Structure 1
Amino acid sequence: MEVAILDIKGKETGRKAKLSDKVFAIEPNEHAVYLDVKQYLANQRQGTHKAKERAEIKGSTRKIKKQKGTGTARAGSIKSPIFKGGGRVFGPRPRNYGFKLNKNLKRLARRSALSMKATDNAIMVIEDFNFDAPRTKNMIDVLKAIGIQDKKSLIVLGDSNKNVYLSSRNLKTTEVISSSELSTYKILHANNIVFIEGSLEGIESNLS
């Protein structure tokens, strides 16, 4: 498929970018997408939750009442989970929620997500640009020119560009990443994906 290349003023340059059918026009594998998004979200979890269990509670170890003759249930420790202030049964412990996925599945998931966006006409290509200095207004002007200033957008750079990145950092609805940081979750999370012209070759070589 072909997409018109725009300049930073939102006008067509007269050139078109050819998007590889192996990356942007495959039959989406929804299960692969699900697994890749699930892994991404699992990796965001800190897993530092902790509750004290019976053995970790400070308290007396004496038997709090005699075994028989009280007319109530037996009780041997004030640290028992049935008493207020006692330990929690099977409480949460620190753990790592991450799990492994093979590289081929992750590539398939990203190709599937990009194909979904291409089907929805949510992919744009803009020619390479740079700013003389970091300035949020410059990025806002570019977004207005291409008509996505009010939409959640993902801008994909070929190489890291400090001025462009810093110019977008204060914008809540826009995220700028390099092509190596592209993930299935970020693709699906954005309403529009804007590829800088120089990023396409690297993305297609990595995912095809």
Structure 2
Amino acid sequence: MAQAQVLDARNGQKSTLELEGRLFETEPKEHVIHRAVVVELDRRRRWTASTKGRSQVAGSGAKLYRQKGTGRARAGDIKSPIRVGGGTWGGPRPKHARYGKKINKKEARAAFYGALSAKARDGEIFVLDSLRFEEPSTKAAKRILEQLEVRGPVLLVVTDEDQNAALSFRNLPEVTIVGPNGYGVYELLTHREVVFSRAAYQALVRRNEGVS
């Protein structure tokens, strides 16, 4: 059974927490985790790449010069796609409907559980007790990470109750701060350690209780 190291942020005392249940005891399946990451990244695309066609480019619609007698190729207006500053032909347009990758809920859940279980198995999950900052302090936040002996990059999961803590950790270069619902498989894989505040850990467990 995997364990998480627990640190009391007030006095530096350490203890352990048993990590039980499917959240931390699911066998990771590489192909499912890969598919989940592809879907997560696909859903984060903004789909707003856009270029202007000739009807959207500013410029005169008059013919540049007469059709015959100049010795030059026949030309239309200055907004032609073959001219510098003209409209673009066949360029990207904003997509109002997404036709990207898909994954069903059961697979997505299995991928998340598998990634979290891998972190638990490798001893890379930590819980912070009494994460109460009377005022933001980057110095205090750095001291807490030193006590945890993490190498980073660190994914710090906090709740709205931990706002001063979030302000304290955000200036540390190897720390990414997210809310209880602000991370997925991709974040778990791209950070070496995952540190939960006690409230965030309890929210994670509650959210996944009774999920089939």
Please tell me the TM-score bracket, short chain as reference. Answer: 0.7 to 0.9
Question: For residue 60 of structure 2, what is the aligned residue in structure 1?
Answer: 59
RMSD of aligned residue pairs (Cα, Å): 3.1
Question: For residue 174 of structure 1, what is the aligned residue in structure 2?
Answer: 175
Q: Residues of 2 paired with 1:133 and 1:43: CA distance?
A: 36
Asked if the contact 1:47/1:94 (under 8 Å) is kept, the reply is yes
Question: For residue 183 of structure 1, what is the aligned residue in structure 2?
Answer: 184
Change (3 A) 1:163 1:31: same
Change (3 A) 1:61 1:186: same
**2:115 is the counterpart of 1:117:** no
Change (3 A) 1:191 1:56: same
Match of 1:140 among 142, 159, 162: 142
Question: For residue 204 of structure 2, what is the aligned residue in structure 1?
Answer: 203
Asked if the contact 1:159/1:199 (under 8 Å) is kept, the reply is no
Q: Residues of 1 paired with 2:193 and 2:207: CA distance?
A: 21
Q: Residues of 1 paired with 2:201 and 2:146: CA distance?
A: 23
Q: Provide the TM-score with structure 2 as the length reference.
A: 0.76
Deviations 1:158-179 (A, max 9, x none): 6631121111121121133332
How many residues align? The count is 204
% same residue: 32
Question: For residue 30 of structure 2, what is the aligned residue in structure 1?
Answer: 30
Asked if the contact 1:43/1:97 (under 8 Å) is kept, the reply is no
Change (3 A) 1:31 1:71: farther
Deviations 1:6-45 (A, max 9, x none): 33365433xx322124112212233443344334434444
Aligned to 1:194, the other structure's residue is in SS state strand
Deviations 1:97-131 (A, max 9, x none): 86565443332221122122223332223333312
Q: Residues of 2 paired with 1:91 and 1:117: CA distance?
A: 43
Aligned to 1:193, the other structure's residue is in SS state strand
* Deviation of the 1:140 alpha carbon: 0.8
**2:71 is the counterpart of 1:81:** no
